[in-house]
Structure 1
Amino acid sequence: MTTQINSIAYSLLVMIMLTAYGCATKPSHKVASNPEELTGALSTAQPGDTIIMANGEWKDADLLVEGTGTKDSMIVVMAEEAGKVILTGNSTLRVAGEYLVVSGLYFRDGHTLTSEVISFKKDKNTLANYCRITQCTIEDYSNPERHESDYWVGMYGKNNRFDHNALVGKGNKGVTMAVRLNNKESQDNHHLIDHNYFGPRPNLGSNGGETLRIGTSHYSLTSSNTKVVNNYFDRCNGEHEIISNKSGGNLFKGNTFYECVGTLTFRHGNDNIAESNAFYGNRMPNTGGIRVINKRQKVFNNYGYGLTGHWFRGALVVMNGVPNSPINRYHQVDGAEIFNNTFVDCDYVQLCAGSDEERSAVPINSVIRDNVFWNTEKQDVFTVYDDISGIEFTNNYISPTIKNIIDRGFSPIKGELKKDGNIYRLDGGKGAGLMADFEAVSKDKAGPSWYLKPGKKEAFDYGQEKVVKEGADLYDEIAHSKAGDILVLEPGDYLLTKVIELDHPISIVSSGGATIKFEKSNLFAIENGGSLKLKGITIDGAEAPDYAGNAVIRTSRYSMNKNYQLWIEDCEFKDLDVNHSFHVLDVYKNTFADSIMIKDSNFTDVSGSILALDKENEDRGIYNAEYVVLENSTFNNIGQPIMKLYRGGSDESTFGPILTIADCDFEKVGFGPKNDSNKAMVLHGVQKANIENTTFSDTKELNIFHTVGEPVTVIESVVIDDRSLLQISDNTATIHNLKEAK
């Protein structure tokens, strides 16, 4: 990532910062060019001293900033120029002592070998107190093993501050930032986490992808008293808990959540406050707001816009609890106060969510008052799963289209909401909706002053277009391409004698009929960082070797900490039958697709599966793909299941897989000699499945097995030989207009 450095502005900023701590007039300044010199300078540092880290790459640097300053004369360790002290390889930073400041460091091009990149402690007995880390960035500093867990920042001790930093692109398991309460010296800590930029975090496809966690279930009845103020959360999509609050007495105020998939979750702990936060979903899938659990939580003066999340991921979710709950389950909502919030064009408000045989303790002693719920498109915004008599509803306003859930406490809004900057307010609502002092942080006010925040990037086709003539070395053309490039193949045949390894997104397209054949067991290997779009291409397997387990496309054999996308449009796949298990896509463990789309394409004579997405089969809530779409395509003579899409286990922290099959025809599927499942399609644990306007002719069974969560399966206008071929594990699926062909 390029940086924008303004040395004069940075120096002025640091001078202001030092003056604020009373240490700008101290005479001692030392320069360190390597970790050894830094250690030496710190060994003699006195309150008020400033140590300058020289610009350049500091590789595999295990930095320990330890010392004792004072409130009025802090010890400062700062980059010569912010963003130009680059920590690479296996570099880490530990801060221990009192009244220390670290500023301007940039972690990239590596990962930690320990449990944390930045730690507010030296070891379990030597912590940081009254220390500050500011103007630093950690970017794409992920362990290459996707499910190897670590933190990027661990806060320990008391009265520390983490501000104006950027944490961007964590791709492996583990919380991006954690406040730890694992000893008395770190409890009731009064930390301040403010004005940070929490940048895009990709979907992990399992539990363990939180962006911020405060406490753990073990210490959840302990007070942390941490303030999380004016931070910007940008597309933080690791799992459905963007912030996982697991302690008491915390304040979340003035934060902005932009197109984040998930919620601010009061998972454990009591007496927490969510005040004046903004949640901009902008109609992006699964974007959520605030989830309420436990005792005496306050949720007020928050704003939600265009939030689409369902069930635990709604705009506002009030949970059911477990009677006499163990500390790590769901404690009953008791004494919640939810008031003066405004939700505009948000799809779901969930009350008593999670109600089941175990979670039977309904909310009590709670109030929902003076809120505004506005949606002009959707009537069933409110979902009530259990008894809501323990919630008092007073002076809430709803748009006329929304169905009321109770005969008191709600009034229809007369007129329209009024735009006020980037929010809507209710005019004349008698005290309902946002308060006059509502203010959430803007993107430009969060993060380091020197860091250029990432913008939105298209999945494909943002690079250069290049025409490839028939007879050209396609392998070489792809090897010399760059991210986002489009290779336009002229009509003709292209024979590949090597596996094409993709480590960046690329599009291969043709409008005149290009055919690719290949002599290896794979044509494409999507490696870490790679994605593939095929359009207008014919893939012919006639020249492939007679190896069991061939695949046109496979993922890396090694763990991938970057998600990939595969789009196939207007293509033909044929003659993939030289052996008994020739797949179109086969994946390996620890790889994850954000989206797989097949559209307007034809598949004929495939001895294996079209999509073999079943390698995470250890029932730990991990799976191989989030969105899978098959649209307006035909599949004929497919030997094994069209699709094997698997998500096992009982974890509820993820959204997918999410499957759509529309306007497709499947004929003669599942009759291959190595189809041990004896199925034409296997969907296990898919959270949302929509199959419509599709025909299954001469196929084996279609198996749909529901597991955890609230799975939604809709089957509409489907033709099948025999209804008995549709095997669903329970009776929760919605089936309309199912026709039998025989």
Structure 2
Amino acid sequence: MGDGYRGPIVLMNGVLNSPLNRYEQVKNVDIQNNTIINSGPISFGEGKDEEKTLAPINTNFSNNLIFNDKPGENILFIDDVSGITFNNNYLDAITPQVINGFDVTKISWKEIGSFPIPTASNKDLLVVTKNSNSFEKDINNSIREVFNAGSFNLDANNLPRALKLRSGPGWTPAIVAPIIKAEETTVEPGLETLRKAIDKASPGSVLNLKTGEYLLEKSIKVSKNITILGDKGGATIITASKNLEKPISYLFRVNEGVSLNISNAVLDGENSNLKYAIVSPDIKEGGLYNLFVDNIIFQNFTNKNGGSVFKAYNGTKADTLSFVNSRFENNYRGLNLSYDKDIMEQYNANNIIIDNTVFKNIEESAINYFRKTLSPEIPGGNLIINNSIFSNVYNDEKGKMIRAEGIGHVLISNSIFEDSYKVITPVSLKGSNNRIVNCLIHNSGFVKTSENAKKENLIYKNPKWEDNALFIPSDKSPLLKANNDIDNIGLKH
């Protein structure tokens, strides 16, 4: 994102009768077929002052592609540009500029690794200006059978070696990390025992909880890596204390730079009219954090004043939010990561993983994961849902059981959407990296896809439960691989 002399392409002014240690005038230069993505401005005549008075001459700037999803100018004319010829350059930017030789367009992208590549649908990029210096091969050294603007052939399937190389030395020292056994502490049930144990624990500690109630008078702010293990064979309940003079709004906050692992417990929101079970770091604390949840029941978080089981504050970002073998039941909302609605390309988690998990009786969306973007083809955000159940979720005509607007990569597989009778569209996916496969939808509308999103092997049938409380299918259920010939759908019992 450099600017001035540190911009992506900079043509500076020269010095009249320049000595050897100063700057000759830029002349006889051909600049073609570059792709510039999310960089600072390209500058022409940079450095103009009383000494540097000679603008570039006899220079060609053609067939270049500029993309920027951040506001601000992308082209700067510092001095006279009459000595520069501009032809068939293409600009796809938040801040469009009307400049001769720069055509405003909309680029369709696909992704190789983390790098965006223009697709073959970009017909504008075929309008070019060639000369004797135009490149016969693209940046991959592939023949340009059809000449187009930018550094890649359209729909290229490879990256140049420079983008694949790992920087650093070509050898790997054999470093054996010391094995440090995590400190383990058993925490008794009771009032404030859990919060006090976390405050005293060393980073990386494991806290073993027993069957019983762990009551909180204050919210727990987790500022170090901690693992909380409930009694797998019993009932560990974490909740707010009753009749608090100062009600708390959440049970846990995961601070930036921290990983919280929590397993085998019930988080109950009934007391204190709790708004949230777990929240992100505070507003605009930008450091990454992680939350790993296994075999947790989230129940009775019914506060309708913006409440949800999990909330991400605006300006925060998790690397990974993982919920496996868990159950969300009788809550107002599930996961809410939708507060950064005004900032382009801002989203609140790199990865959300939902595996073998139930969302039941959720008044609004089970998952609301949002990114404001020019195109879902631009990489950003990753939602993986597998072998999960969404039952009676957002049961309203306009309700979306899962919202993943603008998210670059979505994969929903082997999952069930049921008993949301009023819902018309339970899931709406956009973009070629959004897919829903091998799922069953019953009494919950119809899945919608657009802009090359994919839906495959969707079953609109009754699931035929043997036990609809535990979601165990009967022998004749279409959820079984034996009956659908693809894979088991629903929970992994």
Name the TM-score, length of structure 1 as normaliser: 0.42
The secondary structure found in structure 2 opposite 1:487 is strand
CA contact (8 A) 2:356 2:387 kept: yes
Code of the aligned partner of 1:683: A
- Return the alpha-carbon distance in structure 1 between the equivalents of residues 176 and 253 of structure 2: 26
The secondary structure found in structure 2 opposite 1:616 is coil
- Return the alpha-carbon distance in structure 2 between the equivalents of residues 181 and 681 of structure 1: 46
CA contact (8 A) 1:363 1:388 kept: no
Determine which of 416, 426, 433 is the counterpart of 1:712: 433
- Return the alpha-carbon distance in structure 2 between the equivalents of residues 351 and 584 of structure 1: 38
The answer to whether 1:690 aligns with 2:459 is no
The answer to whether 1:478 aligns with 2:244 is no
> 2:368: which partner in 1?
644
Name the CA shift for 1:456/1:679 in 2 (closer, same or farther; >3 Å). Answer: farther
Code of the aligned partner of 2:281: S
Code of the aligned partner of 2:186: V
Name the CA shift for 1:479/1:371 in 2 (closer, same or farther; >3 Å). Answer: same
> 1:518: which partner in 2?
240
Code of the aligned partner of 1:389: V
- Return the alpha-carbon distance in structure 2 between the equivalents of residues 721 and 511 of structure 1: 35
Give the superposed CA RMSD: 5.0
- Return the alpha-carbon distance in structure 2 between the equivalents of residues 616 and 360 of structure 1: 36
Deviation for aligned residue 1:658? 1.0
The answer to whether 1:572 aligns with 2:297 is yes
Gaps of 5+ in 2: 22-36, 48-55, 67-86, 103-111, 149-155, 242-247, 463-493
The secondary structure found in structure 1 opposite 2:426 is strand
Deviation for aligned residue 1:556? 3.3
- Return the alpha-carbon distance in structure 1 between the equivalents of residues 176 and 205 of structure 2: 17
CA contact (8 A) 1:545 1:578 kept: no
- Return the alpha-carbon distance in structure 1 between the equivalents of residues 64 and 216 of structure 2: 57
Name the CA shift for 1:624/1:359 in 2 (closer, same or farther; >3 Å). Answer: farther
CA contact (8 A) 2:216 2:251 kept: yes
> 1:662: which partner in 2?
386
Code of the aligned partner of 1:217: P
Name the CA shift for 1:725/1:584 in 2 (closer, same or farther; >3 Å). Answer: same
Deviation for aligned residue 1:714? 1.2
> 2:43: which partner in 1?
219
Name the CA shift for 1:625/1:557 in 2 (closer, same or farther; >3 Å). Answer: same
CA contact (8 A) 1:586 1:612 kept: yes
CA contact (8 A) 1:555 1:588 kept: yes
- Return the alpha-carbon distance in structure 2 between the equivalents of residues 732 and 597 of structure 1: 27
Name the TM-score, length of structure 2 as normaliser: 0.62
Code of the aligned partner of 1:545: S
* Number of aligned positions between the proteins: 373
The secondary structure found in structure 2 opposite 1:476 is helix
Deviation for aligned residue 1:221? 8.3
The answer to whether 1:600 aligns with 2:325 is yes
- Return the alpha-carbon distance in structure 2 between the equivalents of residues 689 and 597 of structure 1: 15
- Return the alpha-carbon distance in structure 2 between the equivalents of residues 732 and 722 of structure 1: 26
Name the CA shift for 1:371/1:325 in 2 (closer, same or farther; >3 Å). Answer: closer
> 1:553: which partner in 2?
278
- Return the alpha-carbon distance in structure 2 between the equivalents of residues 616 and 578 of structure 1: 21
CA contact (8 A) 1:540 1:574 kept: yes
> 2:146: which partner in 1?
389
> 1:325: which partner in 2?
90
The answer to whether 1:507 aligns with 2:215 is no
- Return the alpha-carbon distance in structure 1 between the equivalents of residues 139 and 310 of structure 2: 52
Deviation for aligned residue 1:353? 4.0
The secondary structure found in structure 2 opposite 1:679 is coil
Deviation for aligned residue 1:469? 2.8
- Return the alpha-carbon distance in structure 1 between the equivalents of residues 416 and 176 of structure 2: 38
The answer to whether 1:732 aligns with 2:457 is no
The secondary structure found in structure 2 opposite 1:596 is strand
Name the CA shift for 1:725/1:605 in 2 (closer, same or farther; >3 Å). Answer: same
Code of the aligned partner of 1:528: E
- Return the alpha-carbon distance in structure 1 between the equivalents of residues 372 and 284 of structure 2: 19
The answer to whether 1:527 aligns with 2:260 is no
Residues 414-450 of structure 1: CA distance to partner in whole angstroms, max 9, x if unpaired?
xxxxxxxxxxxxxxxxxxx99xxx99741899xxxxx
The aligned runs of 1:573-588 (5 Å cut-off) are: 573-577=298-302, 582-588=307-313
Which structure shows the higher strand fraction? 1
> 2:471: which partner in 1?
none
Name the CA shift for 1:614/1:354 in 2 (closer, same or farther; >3 Å). Answer: farther
CA contact (8 A) 1:633 1:665 kept: yes
- Return the alpha-carbon distance in structure 2 between the equivalents of residues 614 and 663 of structure 1: 24
> 2:288: which partner in 1?
563
Q: Which moved more, 1:713-722 or 1:623-632?
A: 713-722
Code of the aligned partner of 1:625: A
The secondary structure found in structure 2 opposite 1:569 is strand
Residues 528-571 of structure 1: CA distance to partner in whole angstroms, max 9, x if unpaired?
333322111221223x2236xx0111123432120111111111
CA contact (8 A) 1:467 1:489 kept: yes
> 2:185: which partner in 1?
466
Name the CA shift for 1:221/1:563 in 2 (closer, same or farther; >3 Å). Answer: farther
Name the CA shift for 1:360/1:490 in 2 (closer, same or farther; >3 Å). Answer: farther
- Return the alpha-carbon distance in structure 2 between the equivalents of residues 440 and 545 of structure 1: 53
Determine which of 496, 518, 532 is the counterpart of 2:216: 496
Deviation for aligned residue 1:476? 0.9
Deviation for aligned residue 1:620? 1.5
Name the CA shift for 1:494/1:348 in 2 (closer, same or farther; >3 Å). Answer: closer
Code of the aligned partner of 1:602: R
The secondary structure found in structure 2 opposite 1:474 is helix
Name the CA shift for 1:182/1:611 in 2 (closer, same or farther; >3 Å). Answer: farther
Name the CA shift for 1:183/1:676 in 2 (closer, same or farther; >3 Å). Answer: farther
Name the CA shift for 1:569/1:676 in 2 (closer, same or farther; >3 Å). Answer: same
CA contact (8 A) 2:7 2:42 kept: no
Name the CA shift for 1:466/1:684 in 2 (closer, same or farther; >3 Å). Answer: same
The aligned runs of 1:93-112 (5 Å cut-off) are: none
Deviation for aligned residue 1:508? 1.1
Deviation for aligned residue 1:466? 2.4
The answer to whether 1:442 aligns with 2:169 is yes
Gaps of 5+ in 1: 1-150, 158-176, 191-208, 224-247, 249-268, 272-291, 296-321, 333-345, 373-381, 392-404, 407-432, 446-454
> 1:146: which partner in 2?
none
- Return the alpha-carbon distance in structure 1 between the equivalents of residues 381 and 286 of structure 2: 18
Code of the aligned partner of 2:253: A
Name the CA shift for 1:677/1:482 in 2 (closer, same or farther; >3 Å). Answer: farther
Determine which of 525, 531, 540 is the counterpart of 2:268: 540
